[in-house]
């Protein structure tokens, strides 16, 4: 039995590659989308040979929002599952001093991902089926002094996915919000991350596959993050602004 095709946006990222392996191992044809897509030709051959599934490559730039409609039109088929792993994190102090860095963070974590999800949602709605998966962040659940530029962009994306899920609830289209917490990737390289709270990309990928299968709405990859963020959201503002977290 041929399974549904899966589109992976930001397929060059560590999470994107792990997701590609996870779904291919389950028998899904995979569409890999990223900038400089020719750099994924070795991955395409590896995934295709390893799991005996069709794999295609597609040039995609999340920040070139004017190309998103034509990008979707050019896909060999409209996927049944689309997973957006687009994201960029810059140090908070850099985004405070450099408007260019601030803009890249906002556009990479909100504008670009929301725009391509909206394009896909409209096509899925017309067809009446499909699953959209957006990888957001626990950083979006409360603004913190140490990363509020990144966190505010992710907060916007989380709210977008929530609204989109509500809109699509009766249209045959499901929307999943993924909140990974810390993940050991190139984006977090050099950070001192606590092992108990830090997932591997493969763990995120298997969590996404389960969430799609079970039609989950909001998923914390490690359940402890649900508790942590509940506590952080519950701290009164007059106390929170005196903390260094």
DSSP-assigned states of every residue in 34-55: ESSGGGGHHHHHHHHHHHT--E
More confident residue, 1 or 154: 154
Which pLDDT belongs to residue 187? 85
Residue 193: pLDDT band (50, 70, 90) is confident
Section 107-132 average pLDDT: 98
Cβ–Cβ < 8 Å for 114, 140: no
Burial class (CB in 10 A: 0-12, 13-18, 19+), 123: middle
- Residue 1 pLDDT greater than 80, yes or no: no
Instruction: Using alpha carbons, select from 10, 77, 74 the residue that is nearest to residue 37.
Output: 10
Q: What's the CA gap between 142 and 51, in Å, rounded?
A: 40
In angstroms, how far is the first alpha carbon of the chain from the final one? 49
Bridge partners, residue 11, by sequence: none
- Which helix (H) or strand (E) is 59 found in, with range? strand 55-59
Write down the pLDDT at residue 245.
Answer: 77
Chain mean pLDDT for the chain = 96
pLDDT at position 226 over 80: yes
Q: What is the pLDDT of residues 82-106, one digit of tens each?
A: 999 999 999 999 999 999 999 999 9
DSSP state of 88: -
**Mean pLDDT for the stretch of residues 56-83:** 98
Q: Is the pLDDT of residue 111 over 90?
A: yes
Q: Which fold has domain 6-241?
A: Rossmann fold (3.40.50)
CA 118/CA 121 separation, integer angstroms: 5
pLDDT at 113: 98
Phi/psi at 110 (5° precision): -125, -65
CA separation, residue 104 to residues 37, 88, 241 (Å)? 21, 8, 27
pLDDT of residue 2 exceeding 80 = no
Q: What are phi and psi of 91, to 5 degrees?
A: -55, 140
- 174 within 8 A of 216, measured Cβ to Cβ: no
Catalytic residues: 150
pTM recorded for the entire structure: 0.94
């Amino acid at each position: 039995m041929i399974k549904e095709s899966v589109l992976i946006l930001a397929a060059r990222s560590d999470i994107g590659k792990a997701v590609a392996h996870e779904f291919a191992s389950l028998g899904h044809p995979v569409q890999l989308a990223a900038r400089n897509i020719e750099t994924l030709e070795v991955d395409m051959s590896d995934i295709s040979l390893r799991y005996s599934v069709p794999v295609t490559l597609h040039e995609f730039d999340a920040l070139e929002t004017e190309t998103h409609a034509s990008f979707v039109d050019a896909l060999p088929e409209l996927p049944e599952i689309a997973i957006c792993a687009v994201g960029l994190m810059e140090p908070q102090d850099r985004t405070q001093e450099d408007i260019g860095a601030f803009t890249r963070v906002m556009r990479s974590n909100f504008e670009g991902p929301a725009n391509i999800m909206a394009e896909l949602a409209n096509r899925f709605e017309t067809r009446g089926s499909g699953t959209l998966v957006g990888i957001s962040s626990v950083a979006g659940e409360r603004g913190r002094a140490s990363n509020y530029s990144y966190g505010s962009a992710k907060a916007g994306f989380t709210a977008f996915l929530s609204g989109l899920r509500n809109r699509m609830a009766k249209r045959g289209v499901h929307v999943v919000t993924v909140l990974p917490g810390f993940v050991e990737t190139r984006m977090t390289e050099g950070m001192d991350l606590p092992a108990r709270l830090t997932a591997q990309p493969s763990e995120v990928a298997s969590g996404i596959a389960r969430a799609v299968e079970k039609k989950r709405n909001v998923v914390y990859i490690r359940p402890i993050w649900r508790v942590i963020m509940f506590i952080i959201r519950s701290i009164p503002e007059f106390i929170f602004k005196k903390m260094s977290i």
